[in-house]
Amino acid sequence: MSDVIRVVIVDDHRVVREGLRAMLDDVEEVEIVGEAEDMDGALAAVEGAAPDAVLLDLRLAGESGLDVCRAIAERHSDVHVVFLTVYEDEQYVFEALRAGARGYMLKKASPEDIVRILQAVRNGEVVIDTSLGGQIALRASAMRTGDFWPGAHVGLTRRESDVLQQLVKGLNNKTIAETLFISEDTVKTHVRAILRKLGVKDRAGVVSYALRNGLAS
């Protein structure tokens, strides 16, 4: 295995892609072999360049980076996805790991940090930005109580609870997707899971159940 890590950059902002290229140009351990701004471009770049890793933003224009991550993980299991984003919410870290990511770091990371994480994930590790460690530890501890978010005690995941809150507000799938930075298909999947777990037949039933049982925050 070569010491040089071949990387594809996926970000919908050209200036960010150019900035990453400029920042990593003089780093001997990394070679940028492709870039993309959306799902189709990312999959084409991975297919054509056969990278070791993908640096992926969490939010792309009209698409969720989580969906891109899932697609890459399903089609190219040997390619390590590392999120490089401005979002410091630990919930996104959990969502990223569930989507198949091997790393999560913030855009304020230095070139040395990026190289360190890329090397670690290529060696089989899962690496999270150290500045998020405290938040994640607190969340993990609180999750054990079973009541850290509305609906946890009835089996709702944190993201399903997030979607439920938007349903209570009367938002449609498109607006929920935009609010939570996920795709409409992902929203539909969460809604189906909520209906099943709450034992109701439709969105009106979800709202009624949530209001009756104090699940609306």
> Which amino acid is residue 76, in one-letter code?
H
User: 77 and 12 share a domain?
Assistant: yes
Report which DSSP code applies to 107. T
Q: How far apart are CA 55 and CA 96, in angstroms?
A: 13
User: 121 and 17 share a domain?
Assistant: yes
pLDDT digits (tens, 9 = 90+) for 146-191: 446 778 777 788 889 999 999 999 999 999 999 999 999 999 999 9
Residue 185 half-sphere exposure toward CB, CA atoms < 13 A: 7
User: 77 and 129 share a domain?
Assistant: yes
pLDDT digits (tens, 9 = 90+) for 35-50: 999 999 999 999 999 9
User: 160 and 94 share a domain?
Assistant: no
Q: How far apart are CA 30 and CA 112, in angstroms?
A: 11
Q: pLDDT at residue 141 above 60?
A: no
Residue 184 near residue 177, CB atoms below 8 Å:
yes
Q: How far apart are CA 121 and CA 82, in angstroms?
A: 8
pLDDT digits (tens, 9 = 90+) for 94-103: 788 888 999 9
Asked if residue 78 belongs to a domain, the reply is yes
Asked if residue 125 belongs to a domain, the reply is yes
pTM of the model: 0.66
Q: How far apart are CA 120 and CA 157, in angstroms?
A: 29
